[in-house]
Amino acid sequence: MDHSPFLALLLITVLALVVPILSARLRRFYIPIVVGEIVTGIIIGRSGLNLVEPSQTLRFLAEFGFAYLMFLSGLEVDFELLLSSGPYSSGKSFWKRPLTLAAALLLGTLSLALLFSWFLSMVSVLIGSRRKPDPHRFDPKYDISGHRSARP
């Protein structure tokens, strides 16, 4: 297929129209519309048939679609239902217990610090293992710069 941005945008627009209709028609296999569109995107994208090449327009549409999806998921949250059920529904929330909050923040900070230090040590080991060793490192005939020293 010719990888022009117009054809890619046309294909995505047509599939965005067809997938919800097919999803509504398939009553035997209930597939949510968003899941159908994601699977269709995987099929026509780089992971599948590679019919659509990335472009600036498609990157913008992807970011806009993700923001719109997050907006819609935020509209679906019912905070009254969330606060009226659960272990803290009696009015004592997690944020009103300072000792529990302090312990959670301390444990979270320590675990992130340990994870980050482990990651940095692994990266430094990998970088150090890729470096060629200096053959004259411990030879007293050579100075720090790797040249023969004037000393006998």
Note whether 25 and 49 are same-domain residues. Answer: yes
Q: Are 71 and 138 within one domain?
A: no
Residues 15-59: tens digit of each pLDDT:
989 998 888 887 777 888 888 888 998 998 888 888 888 888 888
- DSSP symbols for 113-147: HHHHHHHHHHHHHHHHHHSPPPTTTT-TTB-TTSS
3-state SS of 47-63?
CCCCCCCCCHHHHHHHH
- C-alpha to C-alpha distance for 117 and 59, rounded to whole angstroms: 34
The more confidently predicted of residues 29 and 69 is 69
Number of folded domains in the chain?
2
In this structure, the answer to whether residues 61 and 121 fall within a common structural domain is: no
Q: Which domain holds residue 146?
A: 93-152
86 located within any domain: no
Q: What is the structure's pLDDT at 65?
A: 85
- Specify if 68 maps to a domain: yes
3-class secondary-structure state, position 92:
coil
The answer to the question of residue 23 being in a domain is yes
Same structural domain for residues 9 and 49? yes
pTM for this model (two decimals)? 0.44
Same domain, 4 and 59: yes
Mean pLDDT over the full length of the chain: 79
Residue 71 and residue 105 in one domain:
no
Higher pLDDT residue, 19 or 86? 19
Q: Can you give the pLDDT at residue 112? A: 92
User: How far apart, in whole angstroms, are the C-alpha atoms of residue 20 and residue 82?
Assistant: 30
Residue-wise pLDDT for 109-142, tens only, equals 999 999 999 888 888 887 766 666 666 566 667 6
Instruction: For residue 5, tell me if it sits in a domain.
Output: yes
First-residue to last-residue Cα distance in the chain? 73
